[in-house]
């Protein structure tokens, strides 16, 4: 009996079963969404999606909901969302990586005070700055002639600005774990800060960069507020288009299911493509 228990402990059966249970619970809504989007409208309205799961061969499957979602403008909204999400992810990463390098390896007066102030900005809610920023952009249009509102650049600026404090914090924590002897050796060999950053620090910091990139991309991808206020309906993103697909009387719920699954594919690809960096980047610097 003791031998059997030892084998169970070695196999970590309890942890495995717990993880499987969590995966099952978290995957259930996604599976239900997929099945609902593929069923005929009358059958989906008459019975729950789980009935199709247990009796798949007696169901009528259809791509009609996906066709309606595409005809409703989901592909255009998908392109607009990509155009907003990719630059709004890359821009804060470029700025934050340089700032984190300076806060970590360059000695200058007031460094710790500036970093503390930067971290304090993380508590500033995005919604509190919408009106002042929007007024500032309107002022630029009237007095300088720079028209930002209604263009993708407005969303890039807003997302990048509010992502910088967290990005710098995560990247600096990771860079502090890097060996300082390597940096000192590079300085002795005559390398400039520019060369150290691009050839040493940046390649070694890829886990933290990828982990923040996942967070930022998913945040921007699922954003509705900034895209609606600063970009507008003419260049609508997927979150806004999903709201329009439901219809005036709420009768387009199955089309929304298909559109939601279309919107889900790209974030899943990003997460699974970068997941090997995810935990390494988040836990770096947490324990000394």
Full set of structural domains in the chain with CATH: 1-62 (no CATH), 63-283 (1.10.3720.10)
Tell me what pLDDT residue 36 has. 82
8 Å CB contact between 266 and 221 = yes
8 Å CB contact between 112 and 240 = no
Tell me what pLDDT residue 288 has. 44
Q: Per-block average pLDDT, block size 10, for the chain (288 residues)?
A: 55 75 86 82 76 78 83 86 92 92 85 87 82 85 81 89 90 85 82 84 86 88 88 85 75 79 83 70 51
Nearest Cα to Cα of residue 78 among 213, 239, 268: 239
Tell me what pLDDT residue 7 has. 56
Tell me what pLDDT residue 45 has. 74
Q: In 10 A of CB 126, how many CB atoms?
A: 15
Q: In 10 A of CB 58, how many CB atoms?
A: 7
Distances (CA, A) of 143 to 135, 139, 146, 150: 12, 6, 8, 17
Tokens of 151: 């263009």
Tell me what pLDDT residue 144 has. 79
Tokens of 115: 């970093």
Instruction: Report H helices in 197-288.
Output: 202-204, 206-221, 225-226, 238-245, 253-283
DSSP annotation of 126: G
Distances (CA, A) of 261 to 106, 151, 256: 46, 27, 9
Tell me what pLDDT residue 284 has. 53
8 Å CB contact between 133 and 149 = no
Helices 13-38 and 2-11: crossing angle in degrees, nearest 10, is 50
Tell me what pLDDT residue 84 has. 92
Tell me what pLDDT residue 287 has. 46
Q: How far is Cα 125 from Cα 115, in angstroms, rounded to an integer? A: 19
Q: How far is Cα 209 from Cα 251, in angstroms, rounded to an integer? A: 42
Tell me what pLDDT residue 6 has. 59
């Amino acid at each position: 009996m003791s031998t059997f228990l030892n084998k169970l402990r070695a196999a970590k059966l309890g942890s495995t079963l717990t993880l499987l249970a969590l995966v099952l619970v978290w995957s259930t809504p996604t599976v239900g969404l997929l099945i609902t989007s593929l069923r005929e409208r009358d059958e989906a309205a008459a019975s729950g999606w789980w009935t199709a799961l247990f009796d798949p061969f007696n169901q009528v499957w259809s791509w009609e909901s996906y066709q309606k979602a595409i005809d409703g403008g989901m592909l255009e909204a998908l392109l607009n969302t990509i155009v907003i999400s990719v630059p709004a992810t890359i821009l804060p990463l470029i700025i934050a990586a340089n700032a984190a390098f300076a806060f970590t390896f360059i000695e200058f007066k007031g460094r710790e005070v500036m970093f503390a102030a930067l971290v304090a900005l993380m508590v500033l809610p995005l919604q509190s700055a919408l009106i002042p920023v929007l007024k500032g952009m309107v002022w630029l249009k009237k007095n300088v002639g720079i028209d930002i509102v209604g263009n993708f650049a407005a969303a890039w600026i807003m997302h990048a600005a509010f992502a910088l404090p967290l990005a710098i914090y995560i990247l600096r924590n990771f860079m502090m774990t890097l060996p300082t002897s390597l940096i000192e050796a590079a300085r002795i060999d005559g390398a400039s800060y520019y060369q150290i950053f691009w050839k040493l620090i940046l390649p070694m910091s890829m886990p933290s960069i990828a982990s923040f990139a996942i967070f930022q991309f998913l945040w921007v991808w699922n954003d509705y507020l900034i895209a609606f206020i600063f970009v507008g309906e003419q260049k609508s993103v997927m979150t806004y288009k999903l709201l329009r697909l439901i219809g005036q009387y709420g009768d387009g719920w199955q089309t929304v299911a298909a559109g939601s699954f279309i919107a889900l594919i790209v974030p899943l690809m990003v997460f699974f493509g970068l997941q090997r960096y995810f935990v390494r980047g988040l836990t770096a610097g947490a324990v000394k």
